[in-house]
Amino acid sequence: MSISNAQATPSIQICRIMRPDDANIVGNVHGGTILKMIEEAGCIIGTRHCNSQTGDRCVAALARVERTDFLYPMFIGEVAHVSAEITYTSKNSVEVQVNVLSENIVTGTKKLTNKATLWYVPLSLQNVDKIIEVPPIEYSSPEQEEAGKKRYEAQKLERTETKERNGEIIMSVSLPEPYTVAFSQSSLIHLVGPSDCTLHGFVHGGVTMKLMDEVAGIVAARHCKTNIVTASVDAINFHRKIKKGCVITVSGRMTFTSNKSMEIEVFVDADPLVEAEKGKYRAVTAFFTYISLDKENKPLPVPPLKLEGEEEQKRFEEGKARYLQNKAKRLTDKERQQ
């Protein structure tokens, strides 16, 4: 007889009503607000699971967010239902699947608005550089475990490839021409305070993602001059932790436009004020996709991006490849559901 220490698949659900300060001027809830709720649910279930064993107490730190689709907008007065479930564990990481439903409490109508996959690493409360071993979970079948292992290996490879691009910076240009990369590129500077941080004194992943979405939204709005909403977020890679007291610079630039969507690349650079000798470093990177809407929330055509130079052309072609790949994946998923 074999004895297993694996646990049943843990899951949680949280909900809250959307308030006016969660939304833009036309009532659409900010994508960053939803991303923050997604991360909070993931952090809760990841931390709870990793502390279900004896030994060092720990906090689940966000390491990566896979592509996140915004299927429908959410509005002021609706209730967001966020459900999170652990779907795979490796020796030192946890995969969490999160779904978000919007509920109109007047009509009772519910819609699936978001689906996301997040990866967490448990860090010891006594020593932030010590990664704790993750308790295993039970899988419904060997095929489910094998599929999870493949997702783990794929994200691990992509994180390694992304680190190779971390030397890039966004340069400011004076008096740029409209619809160019330089015209819409934007930056936000934020001092990391105690309310932004975990028990470790490091920034919550959800706080960072909200700031990234704000900058990406500014870039999109400057390009279109219309109401814009987050359509999806490609993988968000958290390369290094950001400590309380750091000044972070969140920078965004347009990389690709199709007829109805825009891709914005966002970087987060951290500058330690107290430990200045450590120097500035690239902490997080991601690609956000936005769409332009009219007053009735119907999609509008996106002005074409004017490219200047080989680097912008190269980034545009890379963005186009991601756009076509994601489009093909959506069509495949749609066919499977029929």
Q: Residues 25-53: what's their mean pLDDT?
A: 92
Confidence of residue 4 (pLDDT cuts 50, 70, 90): very low
Q: Are residues 207 and 107 in the same domain?
A: no
Distance of CA 21 to the CA centre of its chain: 20
Neighbours of 166 (CB within 10 A): 17
Confidence of residue 130 (pLDDT cuts 50, 70, 90): very high
Of 90, 111, 142, which closes a domain? 142
Q: Are residues 333 and 186 in the same domain?
A: yes
Residue 198 located in a structural domain: yes
Burial level of 295, CB count in 10 A (0-12/13-18/19+)?
Answer: exposed
Distance of CA 218 to the CA centre of its chain: 17
According to DSSP, the β-strands at 236-238 and 79-89 are: unpaired
More confident residue, 335 or 172: 335
Residue 165 located in a structural domain: no
Are 45 and 11 in contact by the 8 Å Cβ rule? The answer is yes
Q: What is the pLDDT of residues 178-203, one digit of tens each?
A: 999 999 999 999 999 988 998 888 99
24 is catalytic: yes
Q: Are residues 41 and 130 in the same domain?
A: yes
Q: Are residues 106 and 41 in the same domain?
A: yes
Residue 31 located in a structural domain: yes
Q: Are residues 194 and 138 in the same domain?
A: no
Q: Are residues 78 and 216 in the same domain?
A: no
| CATH number of 277's domain | 3.10.129.10
pLDDT for residue 28: 87
pLDDT for residue 2: 29
Query: How far apart (Å, rounded) are the C-alpha atoms in residues 56 and 123?
Result: 9
The two tokens of residue 192 are 């990391």
Q: Are residues 187 and 130 in the same domain?
A: no
Residue 152 located in a structural domain: no
Residue 1 located in a structural domain: no
Q: Residues 130-154: what's their mean pLDDT?
A: 94
Confidence of residue 291 (pLDDT cuts 50, 70, 90): very high
Structural domains counted in the chain: 2
Distance of CA 272 to the CA centre of its chain: 23
Which of 113-117, 209-213, 243-247, 293-297 is least confident?
A: 293-297
Q: What is the pLDDT of residues 90-128, one digit of tens each?
A: 999 999 999 999 999 999 999 999 999 999 999 999 998
Task: Please state, rounded to an integer, the average pLDDT across all residues of the chain.
Answer: 90
More confident residue, 171 or 31: 31
Residue 147 located in a structural domain: no
Out of 24, 92, 99, 326, pick the active-site residue.
24
Of 142, 168, 198, which closes a domain? 142
pLDDT for residue 74: 93
Burial 116-138 (b: 16+ CB within 10 A, else e): bbbbbbbbbbeebeebbebbbbe
Q: Are residues 87 and 31 in the same domain?
A: yes
pLDDT at 149 over 70: yes
The two tokens of residue 225 are 């001059």
Residue 173 located in a structural domain: no
Q: Are residues 110 and 190 in the same domain?
A: no
333 is catalytic: no
Neighbours of 40 (CB within 10 A): 18
Out of 213, 227, 234, 269, pick the active-site residue.
213
- Smallest CA-to-CA distance from 40 within 8, 12, 10 is with 12
Q: Are residues 310 and 189 in the same domain?
A: yes
Neighbours of 152 (CB within 10 A): 16
Domain span including residue 214: 181-337
pLDDT for residue 8: 61
Residue 43 located in a structural domain: yes
Are 10 and 48 in contact by the 8 Å Cβ rule? The answer is yes
pLDDT at 165 over 50: yes
Q: Are residues 127 and 188 in the same domain?
A: no
Q: Are residues 100 and 193 in the same domain?
A: no
Q: What is the pLDDT of residues 217-244, one digit of tens each?
A: 999 999 999 999 999 999 899 999 999 9
Q: What HEC string does 80-108 produce?
A: EEEEEEEEEECCCCEEEEEEEEEECCCCC
Of 119, 142, 165, which closes a domain? 142
